[in-house]
Amino acid sequence: MTDKCQIAALSPGIGLSHVVAGMWRVMRWNMTRETLAAFIEECVALGVTSFDHADIYGGYEAESFFGDALALRPGLRSRIQLITKAGIKLVSAARPTHRVKHYDSSAAHLRESVERSLRALRSERIELFLLHRPDPLMDADELALEIERLLREGKIGAFGVSNFTARDFDALHARMPLATNQIELSPFMPTPLEDGTLSALQTARVTPMIWSPLGGGRLFDERDPVAARVRETLQAIQRERGVTSWVSIAYAWIFRLPSRPIAIAGTQRIDGMRDAVNALDIELTREEWYAVRAAAQGREVS
């Protein structure tokens, strides 16, 4: 199963599993360090070897919690890939000097963020480092020089962005090679399909990473009529194909895109991770894919 979950390298020497375990909510999972370490091992056994973080997750606590869990399994670090993001400054007791929530893409802040993340994750290298949000005050030339230094020093293996529009991505990609753009996409959030974001990535031959592929849990909301329509469509496809879980069909909807996206599964359930991995064996037909989109939009394409 590990081989099935691997993809081509995002950049020389950097490859991620096709399904990534998202750590956004890890501090809400009521796990101990020991149970988190066991969960990481279970993910790796499934072929989910990449773990997505950001410095701000869990009020700046998630990376340290994960690093402590890794320390309980000394051989585990060499079997996984770490992804983290920086560039958002939260007002938090953990960062008492922050008075206003804002973005900071300065060289000094990103270097400090990388150093902090390395210490928190108990690692010598971050395989993929992302700028969390586009910053109107970003000096692209300064940023490119600092990223080059971090790459040369081996502190990061590759650099990309998160939540960038097509135009913002192209502007920065022209100055330095970007490994990915981590974006929100689901049947409920089709904007990247319509605004050129995915087209720009495909043109650049850059693999997108998708966060909230299940709509941030909306897909499971029993009170949401749109979610109910989408669920019913996914379940109909599941029955026709004899697939174990309709959730796998939801992930297959993402994987059907020609840019071959990586999906971030933000679940603490190993069965939920298995649903995502199993989706790699499912290739939806065009009619099936458009049926899901129509269910979410409440109409057929024009």
Tell me whether residue 179 is exposed, middle or buried, using C-beta atoms within 10 angstroms of its C-beta: 0 to 12, 13 to 18, 19 or more: buried
Whether 301 is covered by a domain: the verdict is: no
pTM: 0.96
In eight-state DSSP terms, residue 267 is -
Give the model's pLDDT for residue 3. Answer: 60
pLDDT, tens only, 90-146 = 999 999 999 999 999 999 999 999 999 999 999 999 999 999 999 999 999 999 999
Range of the domain at 142: 2-179
Residue 229 exposure: Cα atoms within 13 Å on the Cβ side: 13
**Tokens found for residue 287:** 């009619």
Q: Which residues pair with 167 in a beta bridge?
A: none
Residue 255 falls inside a structural domain: no
| 129/70 Cα distance (integer angstroms) | 19
Evaluate whether 14 touches 128 at the Cβ level (below 8 Å): yes
pLDDT, position 11: 65
| CA dist., res. 187 & res. 297, Å (int) | 8
Answer whether 77's CB lies under 8 Å from 30's CB.
no
Whether the pLDDT of residue 46 is over 90: the answer is yes
Let me know if residue 193 belongs to a domain: no
Whether 118 is covered by a domain: the verdict is: yes
Handedness of CA 33, 35, 36, 41 (dihedral sign): positive
CB-count exposure of residue 29 (10 Å: 0-12, 13-18, 19+): middle
**Secondary structure class of 283 (helix, strand, coil):** coil
Residue 284 lies inside a defined structural domain of this protein: no
CB–CB of 22/63 below 8 Å? no
Contacts with 269 (C-beta within 8 Å, 6 or more apart), sequence order: none
In a domain, 41, yes or no: yes
- 19 close to 255: Cβ distance less than 8 angstroms: no
If one counts the domains in the chain, the total is: 1
Q: Spell out where 23-147 has E strands.
A: 50-52, 81-86, 88-89, 102-103, 128-131
The structure tokens listed for 263 are: 């999906």
Instruction: Indicate whether 91 belongs to any domain.
Output: yes
pLDDT tens digits, one per residue of 179-208: 999 999 999 999 999 999 999 999 999 999
Question: Using an 8 Å Cβ cutoff, are 62 and 36 in contact?
Answer: no
Catalytic position from the list 57, 60, 251, 290: 57
Residue 12 lies in a domain: yes
62-105 pLDDT, tens digit per residue, is 999 999 999 999 899 999 999 999 999 999 999 999 999 999 99
Banded model confidence at residue 14, pLDDT cuts 50, 70, 90: confident
Q: Catalytic annotation on 290? A: no
At residue 13 the predicted structure's pLDDT band, cuts being 50, 70 and 90, is low
- The CATH number of the domain where 118 resides is what? 3.20.20.100
